[in-house]
Structure 1
Amino acid sequence: MPRTWSGNSGWALTYARDRLTLAVDGAVEELVGADAARLRVARRWKGTCLVLEPADDAPRRRLTGVDPRDAREIRAAVTRIVTRGKLRDALALAAHREQVFHRLLATRVRKQRWIAHDDAATILAGLPRHADLLALLSPAERADLPRHLSADEQRALAFLAQDHLARVGAANDEILRRELIAGREFFARVERSPLTAEQARAVVSYDNRVRVIAAAGSGKTSVMVARAAYALRRGLTSPDRILMLAFNADAARELQERVDARLDALGLPHDGLRAATFHSFGLSLIAEATGRRPAIAPWVESGTDVEKVQEIVDRLRDSDLGFRFRWDLFRLLYGKVSGAPDGGDHDSYDPATGVSGFATYRGETVRSEGERLVADWLFLNGVDYRYEHPYPHNVADRAHGRYVADFYYPDADVWHEHWALRADGTAPFRGYAEAMAWKRRVHATHGTALIETEWHAILDHTGFEALARDLESHGLTLDWNPDRPIPGAEPLEHERLARLVRTFMTHVRSGALTRSALEERLASTPALDTPRTRLFLELYWRIHERWQEELAAIDAVDFDDMLRRAAELVERDPGLARWDLVMVDEFQDTSRARARLTRALLRGRGTHLLAVGDDWQAVNRFAGADLSVMTGFSAFFGPALTRRLQTTFRTSQTVADVSSRFVSRNPAQITKTVRAARGPGGAPVAVVRVERHDALAGAVEAHLRRLARESRGTVDVLGRYGFDRKLVPTVQLPGLDVRFRTVHRSKGLEADHVIMPNVTTGRYGFPSSIVDDPVLTLAMSADDGHRHSEERRLFYVALTRARQTVTVFTVAGRESPFVLELLEDPDVEVRGTSGEAEEVRVCAGCGEGTLVRRSGRHGDFYGCSTFPRCRETARVQPAGGTSR
Structure 2
Amino acid sequence: MFTFASILVTICLVLIGLALRYNYLRSKQHYEDKQQKSDADDIVYHKYLNTHASVIQTIYKQILPFTDSYCSNNELAQKVAYIERKLPSITFKKNIHLDNSLSSSYQAIRTYVTHGEKLRIAHNTSFLEREKNRSKKYFQTLLSHPLDKQQVDAILHDDDNTLVIAGAGCGKTTTVQAKIAYLLYNKLAKPTDILVLSFAKKNADDLKEKLAHLGINCRTFHALAYQIIKDGESEPAILPPNEVERTIIDIHHRMCTDKTYLSSFNDFVLNGLRPILNNSEFKNDAAYIDYLKDSDFESIQGLLAKRRFLMHGHDKSMVGEFVKNGEHCYIANFLFLHDIPYSYETPFFVSLREEEKAALDKQLKRYKPTFTIYLNGYDAQRIKTCPFPQDHLIFIDHLPTAEYKDTLIWSDDLHESYRSRYIKSYAHEFKEKTIEETLISHLSKYGVPLRRKSNEDIYKILEEAYGKEIDAVLKLIQTFITLFKSSGQTFDRLIQSNSQQFRQDGELQNRNEQFFDIVHRIQLAYQERLKFLKKVDFDDLIHSATLKVKNNRYQHAYKYIIVDEFQDLSINRCKLLLALKKQRYCKLFAVGDDWQSIYRFSGSDLTLFNQFGEFFGHTVVRKIENTYRFAEPMISISSRFILKNPYQIEKTLRNPGNRKTEVFFEYTQDNISHLNQDLLHVLQKLYAQYGQKLQHKSMLLLGRYQHDINRIQDAPDVKVSKKHSYIEIHSLLRDIQIDRHGNTVRNNQLQLDKKIDFQTVHSAKGLEADIVILINCESGKYGFPAELSDDKVLNLLLSGDDQYPNSEERRVFYVAMTRAKEKFYFLLNRNKQSKFIRELHLDHVGPLASPSQQCERCGGELRFIKNISNKICTSQMYGCTNFRYGCDYTTFRKTTAVNAVVDNDSY
Question: What is the TM-score with the length of structure 1 in the denominator?
Answer: 0.71
Tell me the CA shift for residue 653 of structure 1. 3.8
Which aligned pairs between 1:33-432 and structure 2 lie closer than 5 A? 68=26, 72-73=30-31, 107-108=65-66, 110-111=67-68, 113-124=69-80, 159=111, 164-261=116-213, 263=214, 270=215, 273-288=216-231, 291-297=233-239, 300-301=240-241, 303-318=242-257, 320-338=258-276, 360-361=299-300, 373=330, 376-382=333-339
Higher share in helix: 2
Is 1:509 the counterpart of 2:485? The answer is: yes
What SS is found at the alignment partner of 1:796? helix
Cα distance per residue 1:63-103 (max 9 Å; x no partner): xxx9756654488689989999xx99x999x9999999987
Counterpart code for 2:570? S
Tell me the CA shift for residue 311 of structure 1. 1.6
1:859 aligned residue: 876
1:42 aligned residue: none
Counterpart code for 2:679? V
Counterpart code for 2:516? L
1:691 aligned residue: 669
**Contact 1:813-1:852 within 8 A present in 2 as well:** no
Is 1:810 the counterpart of 2:818? The answer is: no
Tell me the CA shift for residue 625 of structure 1. 1.1
- Structure 1 distance, partners of 2:884, 2:427, is 30
What SS is found at the alignment partner of 1:731? strand
Higher share in strand: 1
Residue among 491, 494, 515 paired with 1:518: 494
- Structure 1 distance, partners of 2:467, 2:187, is 63
Question: What is the TM-score with the length of structure 2 in the denominator?
Answer: 0.69
- Structure 1 distance, partners of 2:863, 2:344, is 33
Is 1:713 the counterpart of 2:697? The answer is: yes
Q: How many residues align?
A: 750
| Change in CA separation of 1:861 and 1:375 when aligned onto 2, cut-off 3 Å | closer
| Change in CA separation of 1:242 and 1:293 when aligned onto 2, cut-off 3 Å | same
**Contact 2:340-2:373 within 8 A present in 1 as well:** no
The more displaced of 806-815 and 247-256 is 806-815
| Change in CA separation of 1:374 and 1:202 when aligned onto 2, cut-off 3 Å | same
| Change in CA separation of 1:674 and 1:494 when aligned onto 2, cut-off 3 Å | closer
**Contact 1:563-1:593 within 8 A present in 2 as well:** yes
| Change in CA separation of 1:816 and 1:588 when aligned onto 2, cut-off 3 Å | same
Tell me the CA shift for residue 260 of structure 1. 2.0
Cα distance per residue 1:403-430 (max 9 Å; x no partner): x99999989999999999xxxxxx9989
| Change in CA separation of 1:275 and 1:81 when aligned onto 2, cut-off 3 Å | farther
2:604 aligned residue: 625
- Structure 2 distance, partners of 1:803, 1:162, is 52
**Contact 1:589-1:625 within 8 A present in 2 as well:** yes
Counterpart code for 1:119? E
- Structure 1 distance, partners of 2:427, 2:826, is 47
Is 1:772 the counterpart of 2:790? The answer is: yes
| Change in CA separation of 1:504 and 1:167 when aligned onto 2, cut-off 3 Å | same
Which aligned pairs between 1:443-462 and structure 2 lie closer than 5 A? none
Residue among 495, 510, 516 paired with 2:471: 495
- Structure 2 distance, partners of 1:866, 1:431, is 18
1:5 aligned residue: none
| Change in CA separation of 1:851 and 1:765 when aligned onto 2, cut-off 3 Å | farther
| Change in CA separation of 1:668 and 1:863 when aligned onto 2, cut-off 3 Å | same
**Contact 2:472-2:788 within 8 A present in 1 as well:** no
Tell me the CA shift for residue 114 of structure 1. 1.0
Counterpart code for 1:287? K
Counterpart code for 1:731? I
What SS is found at the alignment partner of 1:643? strand
**Contact 1:360-1:375 within 8 A present in 2 as well:** yes
Tell me the CA shift for residue 214 of structure 1. 0.6
**Contact 2:781-2:787 within 8 A present in 1 as well:** yes
What SS is found at the alignment partner of 2:650? coil
The more displaced of 220-229 and 680-689 is 680-689
The more displaced of 666-675 and 449-458 is 449-458
| Change in CA separation of 1:69 and 1:781 when aligned onto 2, cut-off 3 Å | closer
1:753 aligned residue: 771
2:615 aligned residue: 636
**Contact 1:571-1:600 within 8 A present in 2 as well:** yes
Counterpart code for 1:246? S
- Structure 2 distance, partners of 1:872, 1:360, is 25
What SS is found at the alignment partner of 2:204? helix
| Change in CA separation of 1:367 and 1:530 when aligned onto 2, cut-off 3 Å | farther
| Change in CA separation of 1:338 and 1:169 when aligned onto 2, cut-off 3 Å | farther
2:651 aligned residue: 672
**Contact 1:713-1:736 within 8 A present in 2 as well:** no
Is 1:533 the counterpart of 2:506? The answer is: no
**Contact 1:686-1:830 within 8 A present in 2 as well:** no
Cα distance per residue 1:330-351 (max 9 Å; x no partner): 333444445899779999999x
Counterpart code for 1:276? R
Tell me the CA shift for residue 757 of structure 1. 2.9
- Structure 1 distance, partners of 2:595, 2:164, is 13
- Structure 2 distance, partners of 1:650, 1:164, is 42
**Contact 1:618-1:627 within 8 A present in 2 as well:** yes
**Contact 1:583-1:611 within 8 A present in 2 as well:** yes
Tell me the CA shift for residue 552 of structure 1. 0.3
Cα distance per residue 1:671-710 (max 9 Å; x no partner): 11212132x3425322222332447322322333514634
What SS is found at the alignment partner of 1:175? helix
1:654 aligned residue: 633
What SS is found at the alignment partner of 1:805? strand
| Change in CA separation of 1:590 and 1:662 when aligned onto 2, cut-off 3 Å | same
| Change in CA separation of 1:179 and 1:461 when aligned onto 2, cut-off 3 Å | farther
Tell me the CA shift for residue 505 of structure 1. 0.9
Tell me the CA shift for residue 862 of structure 1. 6.5
| Change in CA separation of 1:83 and 1:534 when aligned onto 2, cut-off 3 Å | farther
| Change in CA separation of 1:498 and 1:854 when aligned onto 2, cut-off 3 Å | same
**Contact 2:666-2:826 within 8 A present in 1 as well:** yes
Tell me the CA shift for residue 657 of structure 1. 3.0
**Contact 2:328-2:398 within 8 A present in 1 as well:** no
Cα distance per residue 1:158-193 (max 9 Å; x no partner): 948976434322211211111122223321232222
2:454 aligned residue: 481
Cα distance per residue 1:198-224 (max 9 Å; x no partner): 111111111110000111111111111
- Structure 2 distance, partners of 1:337, 1:386, is 24
> Percent identity among equivalent residues?
25
Cα RMSD of the aligned pairs, angstroms, is 5.6
Cα distance per residue 1:224-250 (max 9 Å; x no partner): 111111111222221112111111222
**Contact 2:877-2:890 within 8 A present in 1 as well:** no
What SS is found at the alignment partner of 1:522? helix
| Change in CA separation of 1:674 and 1:95 when aligned onto 2, cut-off 3 Å | farther
2:5 aligned residue: none
| Change in CA separation of 1:489 and 1:248 when aligned onto 2, cut-off 3 Å | closer
What SS is found at the alignment partner of 2:786? coil
- Structure 2 distance, partners of 1:125, 1:406, is 80
| Change in CA separation of 1:655 and 1:387 when aligned onto 2, cut-off 3 Å | closer
What SS is found at the alignment partner of 2:633? helix
What SS is found at the alignment partner of 1:647? coil
2:305 aligned residue: none
Tell me the CA shift for residue 665 of structure 1. 2.8
Tell me the CA shift for residue 550 of structure 1. 0.4
**Runs of 5+ consecutive residues of structure 2 not aligned to the other structure:** 1-17, 290-294, 303-320, 351-363, 377-390, 713-717, 719-727, 731-750, 869-874, 896-900
